[in-house]
Structure formats: structure tokens, C-alpha cells
Amino acid sequence: MKTDSIFYRLFQEFPHIFFELIGNSGETANLYQFSSVEVKQTAFRIDGVFLPIQDREVPIYFVEVQFQPDTEIYLRLVSEISLYLRQNRRKNPWRGVVIYPSRDIDIGDKEDFIEFFHSQRISRIYLNEFGSTASLPIGIATIKLVIEDKDTAISTARELINRTQQPVNLQLPQKQLLELIETILVYKFPNMSQKEIEAMFGLSELKQTRVYQEARQEGKQEGEQEGKQKAKLEAVPKLLALGLTVEQIAQALDLDVAQVQQVEQQRLSPE
């Protein structure tokens, strides 16, 4: 599952969710812009950075999403942050946040950076330790959907979709939330058919999402192509009557020779 891209999209479209996740007011997001940052002259890329806008004296937040065990995660994170600060000369204080699916994935060596943890300069979030989905703000509940197992993900998604209909959540863009939920499910169930996705979402909700609209457009295009194909096949008998060979017709109409031969046989067969 492409967790990095999901979290990047989530924090880009709903930055307030990050600040709710770390225990701040969601309105704090109005002070920041979110982006992914590549540290020059290295192979380092920081998953996400919340940079203060208009030179406000608030912390820079460096975000890492870590869903695989990595003993060097903190060495890498501190190195990335140090290089970034050196290259960009920002005067703001900084905070590091590492997001884990569960505590057992957190195996990074902390010994050399223990002061950062004691001072909360670097904090860790374990998604599975949040409460039940129903008790969480809808943004954090959507994040938790990423770590749900397949047996519960569908029912959780239905619950989240129902919550998007409630007036209390009108401050969040419903369409974007639905698309995000759908994206997470598509990654979780890569072999699921379109009908199964429709059944999962409920057709009325699915029709509002980008994925459904794209699928609908694809269907429309396929229908147009089928119409063109039918017109070509209907033209074959007329061209045969004019004395053109099967090969000439196939080339002129961009058809397979076998398709033209089939029409020819049907034409010659007695009814």
C-alpha cells in the first residue's frame, strides 16, 4: 500500500488533520503551507514539511510516515532536518513527527538523540492507539482507515461515508473526503472490481467521486468506440459488392482480416 502518497495527499488537502493528530487546534493549519522537500546534494527526501507562512514565529514541522521497521529512522530524520536547516537558514524552531501504524514498528535507535524525545522535539504517533473510529474527528478516523485490516476496512469506510453526510462535518469538503476514502480502499483492495467498489460505497456516494466520474467517462468513450466499430462492420458488405478484396477492406477500415472474413461469410451464408 502506497502509504507515503496517501499521507502526502491527506496532509496537502486537509492540513488541519495533522495538527489535530498532534493535539493542536485544527485552525493552526492556517499558519502553514505543506510540501515535500528534497535536501540538495543528497539522496534525502523528507516526506512532508509544514512551513510557516508570512514568517510567523511558529515551529517548522517535519513529518515522516514510517510503516516499515527501520533501525536508522531517527539518524536519517535528524540528518535530513539538520541539512535542511543549514541550507535554508530558517529562524523558526523545529519539531519532528514520526507516524507509525503501531508501536512495534518503532525500532529506531534513539540513544544518540534521547534529548530530542525527552524535550518533545521529536514526537511519535501510533495510529492503532487512537480510540474507536466513531469517537474520533472524521479526519483522524480517515487516517486510521489506512491501518484497518481488510475484514473491518469496508464497514469502517461505510461509517465514514455516513459521517460525511452529517451537518457537523460540513466544514470539510465532502467530495474530497469521499475521494480520499475511496483511494485508501483502492490501495487496500487492488483486485476489487468496479461493481464491488460501487457496492462498498453505495451508488449515490460513488457518483460524486472523481474515480466514478473517470470510469463513467471511460465507459462513454468505450460506447463511442463500439459505435464506430459497428459502422465499420456495416460498411464491409458494400465494399465487397464493389469488388474490393478482403485485405483491401481490412486496410481501409483499420479492421482485422478475420473480422472482414467473418462479415463476408455471414453475407454469403443463406438465411
Once rounded to an integer, what is the mean pLDDT over residues 174-191? 78
Of 16, 40, 41, 20, give the one whose Cα is nearest residue 30.
16
The percentage of the chain sitting over the pLDDT mark of 90, rounded to a whole number, equals 30
Let me know if residue 217 belongs to a domain. no
Once rounded to an integer, what is the mean pLDDT over residues 163-182? 72
Asked whether residue 207 falls in the same domain as residue 235, the answer is: no
Q: How far is CA 71 from CA 66, 75, 96, 222, 242, in A?
A: 11, 9, 17, 50, 76
Asked whether residue 25 falls in the same domain as residue 103, the answer is: yes
Asked whether residue 49 falls in the same domain as residue 129, the answer is: yes
Number of domains in the chain: 2
Which residue in this structure is represented by grid cell 475521494? 179
Let me know if residue 221 belongs to a domain. no
Let me know if residue 264 belongs to a domain. yes
What band does 203 get if pLDDT is binned at 50, 70 and 90? very low
The percentage of the chain sitting over the pLDDT mark of 70, rounded to a whole number, equals 79
> pLDDT by residue (tens digit) across 67-122?
999 999 999 999 989 988 888 888 899 999 999 999 999 999 999 999 999 999 99
Asked whether residue 169 falls in the same domain as residue 237, the answer is: no
Cβ 99 vs Cβ 7: under 8 Å: yes
Q: Which residues form the domain of 167?
A: 3-212
Residue 75's pLDDT is: 94
Phi/psi of residue 49, each to 5°?
Answer: -135, 125
Kindly report the three-state secondary structure assignment for every residue of the chain. CCHHHHHHHHHHHCHHHHHHHCCCCHHHHHHEEEEEEECCCCCCEEEEEEEECCCCCCCEEEEEECCCCCCCHHHHHHHHHHHHHHHHCCCCCEEEEEEECCHHHCCCCCHHHHHHHHCCCEEEEEHHHCCCHHHCCHHHHHHHHCCCCHHHHHHHHHHHHHHHCCHHHCCCCHHHHHHHHHHHHHHHCCCCCHHHHHHHHCHHHHCCCHHHHHHHHHHHHHHHHHHHHHHHHHHHHHHHHCCCCHHHHHHHHCCCHHHHHHHHHHHHCCC
Let me know if residue 196 belongs to a domain. yes
Asked whether residue 249 falls in the same domain as residue 189, the answer is: no
> What pTM does this model have?
0.69
Residue 211's pLDDT is: 56
Cβ 181 vs Cβ 163: under 8 Å: no
- As a whole number of angstroms, the distance between CA 261 and CA 120 comes to 76
> pLDDT by residue (tens digit) across 29-62?
999 999 877 665 555 667 789 999 877 789 999 9
